A and B are shown apart, each in its own frame.
Chain A
Amino acid sequence: MEIVICPFCGKENRAEDETCQYCQARLKPLRIDPESQPGLIGQSPGEESQVFSKKEGKPDSQDGLQASGEVTPAGKPAVSEPSDWLTGFRNQITTQDLTPGPEALDDERQPEARDIRQDFEAGAMLDDAFRSLPFENARDNEESYPEFLPDEPQKAEKVGDVAADDLAWLRELQSQYNEVDGLSSAASKKDEGWLAANELSQDSQKREDERVPRWVGEISAGSLDKQDSEAEGGLSASELPSWLDATRPLATPQIIFGMPSGYSDQVEIAGPLAGLPGLLPAEPEIALGRKAAAYPTQLQVSETNRIQAEIFDQVLQSEGQNRPLPDRVLVSSQKVMRMAFALIILFAILAPVFSLQTLERYPAITPVEVLSASQIISRIGSESPVLIAVEYEPGFSGELDAALAAVLDHLMIQGAFLVLVSSVPSGPMQAEHIVGVSNQVGPHQYINSASQKEYINLGYISGGLAGLRNFAENPRLSNPSDISGEPAWENPVMVNIDDINDFSLVIVASENHDKSRAWIEQTSPLLEDTPLIYVVSAQSEPLIRPFFDATPQQVQGIVSGVIGSVHYGATIGRQGIAHLYWPSFNSGLLAAAILIVVGGGANALLALTASKNGRKPGGKSL
């Protein structure tokens, strides 16, 4: 069964259908009286109007356009001779366009100028014109028809067919007006232009205006040029609203509307505009206009695209301008809150110091891990070698000096021989520092005793884990000399030490969980019965605690920070540095708890109000 593609919606219909079953568009062009109606563009005399048709299922790239025979309403013969306005148009193109412009003077271009005439004859110029017209629907229908209009000259006549068929929309327009109120048929009968009868009453005039499409209405009698001249000289140019004026294209291409001479007094004899003199031909050449040779620069841009293009343009231009850095807000709310926190904490720390407050009450119960450490050290005999790994950074001197000083003070009382070592580069100096501090805690002269030195500083173990492993397995090889370069192992106390298990006790002081764990992993397998005690910062106490609670115990005692040191002092009845710090430490903790509750509450309120106003939390904070 033969099918026909509807030029409007592209749907297939049966060949015999008059109108498209989908969009009711006419499939068969109305046949109008050839004498009165100008021929279709590009149609040479004797050629029949052609309707696109496609054998079902056989897309044929070459003869997609098939003459399906003449279809004429009411038996009228197909239109043959070319219309006057077309020939006028052609002459105009040939006279004007081909006059050599400045570039034509250039010799190489000369042959190109002469070819334009042949191209035009072959319809190439029309291709360019057609290419700019919105013939999407027509092109889409043609499955086998190439995407863009063909350049090859031999396909030019198909272009004419395309145009013939593309005028269907005008006829369809005309048929719509005939059907709407039957007026047009009266007009066509009386063979007067529907507007020519000016004696229609005001309201019918208004009705007419409403029915006439707006763009036709704008084209008043007489040619456009006349209208322009009136706009310039005669009637004052109507004040366009600003938004309308803004939307006018900035650089409209100079469409030169050259109208063939003698055209203005011709009266339209049929169709909806019958009776109007000097009408612009509704055929496509209106849209054609005579364009400048250059391709049109004005794209079909929708409103939103244009706005987006403008925004993009502004963004690009703003890149070029150097924007001064926003000057920093001197005092922001965060800075105020930060200073308030600082002042409160400083006050909480200094108040007990200035009021010479001393510790009223020790924390009641001594933790078991502190008690265990104290008992182990109490069992250390005089001149027993005790290895002390000083693994904390100088920044933690405040906390760990207090804790370690209490333990070293106890060891000094026991008369143990201290062997200091560190796997931290600043450790050797820190070890020397802590021995001096511990010596000042109690009324004993550990360092300046007459006998030979009571301690030795083996210095730095390099190489991290690997270095620790080496030291644990063979300390003599790992650190052959002490920090000042003297041989370390000739001291009588050190003579019998071959590996880490030969020490009476090992104490590791560290603020960091990784360093603490490294000592456990690398040395505890070799320690056998030598006890291992940790002096740690409060920040790593939760992480070392499991090694004390484990079975078997990998750590035999823990002294944790200022609190642990106070407890340790309580076990041996000696007040160390920690007792000086305790009142300030206590009030510092209390101030912190209050500040977190108050500050946190205020920020929580801010977050709730922010989420109520639809803003994501995480914005402005106190």
Chain B
Amino acid sequence: MSLFDLGAADLIGGLLGLAVTLVVFSHFIGDNAVFRLVLHIFIGMSAGYIAVVVAYNVLWPKLLRPVLEAEGWELLWVGLPLFFSLLLFARLFPRYSILGSPVLAFVVGVGAAAAVGGAVVGVLFPQVRATINLFDLDAIRQNQENVNLALVNGSIILVGTISSLAYFHFGVRGKAGSKTQRSTWMEWLAQVGQGFIVIAFGMIFAGIYAAALAALIERLSSITRFIYSLVAGF
């Protein structure tokens, strides 16, 4: 694609992208004023997009339009969220911020319940069930897996899950003078658990590097393609 095929918008866009990418890469050398400038541009843009998305997707369809379209008693029920939302706006003024505290308390209460309920229903029980199901011989046979290998793997996961859970055990008997005060079997189990945890972190860490590497490659390849199109254009 030569320079002339590029519209003005694409040309300016490409130059903008090239510039901000090089400024961000200048952070390798060290912190500098231009890098901070780009960070502020980025924070401002993100806030702008969020304001527009929230307005289009939540405020208008779920808050304002129902109030405008509601009649009679329905207006009261539909208007309540709007009223409490206006109380939340009081948080912006220190003198009246106390008006918004009840709504914030409501959000904290609902959030705490969602966290507790989600943790029990969505994490603790499913993980316990998944570990138990590793020893479901019928399912293993149904998946045509090698039963022995599956049981070995299941046992490793069982031991790893329980030992890494034991690693977090906090209570110790007597004064915590010396570093390890837990009983010997607990300490041994915790050290095995720490090994499993570290392996999990290693796998995740490599994945994060791969994702970051892909982002770096995308930036560099878009820069080289853009420069090629500029050079090819002349």
Bound CA span A127–B213, Å: 85
B49, A426: Cβ atoms under 8 Å?
A: yes
Interface size class of B (residues with CB under 8 A): 35 or more
For residue B178, CB closer than 8 A to chain A, the reply is no
Write the nearest CB–CB distance from A605 to chain B, whole angstroms: 22
For residue B57, CB closer than 8 A to chain A, the reply is yes
For residue A622, CB closer than 8 A to chain B, the reply is no
Partner of A484 from the list B46, B56, B206, B220 (CB cut-off 8 Å) is B56
For residue B108, CB closer than 8 A to chain A, the reply is no
Name the interface residues of A348-382: CB closer than 8 Å to any CB of B.
Answer: 349-350, 353-354
Q: Which of A138-146, A211-219, A304-312, A579-587 contacts its partner?
A: A579-587
For residue B165, CB closer than 8 A to chain A, the reply is no
Contacts of B121 in A (CB 8 A): 521
For residue B211, CB closer than 8 A to chain A, the reply is yes
Contacts of B50 in A (CB 8 A): 425-426
A551, B136: Cβ atoms under 8 Å?
A: yes
Write the nearest CB–CB distance from B42 to chain A, whole angstroms: 10
Bound CA span A354–B221, Å: 10
Q: Which partner residue on chain A sits nearest B140 by CB separation?
A: A551
Q: Which partner residue on chain A sits nearest B131 by CB separation?
A: A546
A428, B60: Cβ atoms under 8 Å?
A: no
Contacts of B80 in A (CB 8 A): none
Write the nearest CB–CB distance from B143 to chain A, whole angstroms: 7
Partner of B214 from the list A346, A426, A543, A562 (CB cut-off 8 Å) is A562
Partner of B142 from the list A466, A517, A551 (CB cut-off 8 Å) is A551
Q: Which partner residue on chain A sits nearest B138 by CB separation?
A: A551
B214, A402: Cβ atoms under 8 Å?
A: yes
B204, A550: Cβ atoms under 8 Å?
A: no
For residue A22, CB closer than 8 A to chain B, the reply is no
A538, B207: Cβ atoms under 8 Å?
A: yes
Write the nearest CB–CB distance from A397 to chain B, whole angstroms: 7
B57, A581: Cβ atoms under 8 Å?
A: no
Contacts of B209 in A (CB 8 A): 592
Contacts of A475 in B (CB 8 A): none
A483, B57: Cβ atoms under 8 Å?
A: yes
Name the interface residues of A574-615: CB closer than 8 Å to any CB of B.
Answer: 580-581, 584-585, 588-589, 592
A397, B218: Cβ atoms under 8 Å?
A: yes
A399, B130: Cβ atoms under 8 Å?
A: no
A581, B224: Cβ atoms under 8 Å?
A: no
B220, A353: Cβ atoms under 8 Å?
A: yes
Contacts of A396 in B (CB 8 A): 211, 215
Q: Which partner residue on chain B sits nearest A565 by CB separation?
A: B214
For residue B58, CB closer than 8 A to chain A, the reply is yes
Q: Which of A154-162, A279-287, A337-345 contacts its partner?
A: A337-345
Known: A521-B122, A580-B221. 11 other contacts (CB 8 A): A345-B216, A349-B213, A429-B53, A459-B56, A479-B57, A538-B214, A539-B208, A541-B207, A550-B133, A551-B136, A592-B209
- Would you mind naming 9 contact pairs between A and B with Cβ atoms under 8 Å apart? A338-B28, A353-B221, A353-B224, A425-B53, A466-B114, A485-B60, A539-B211, A581-B214, A584-B220
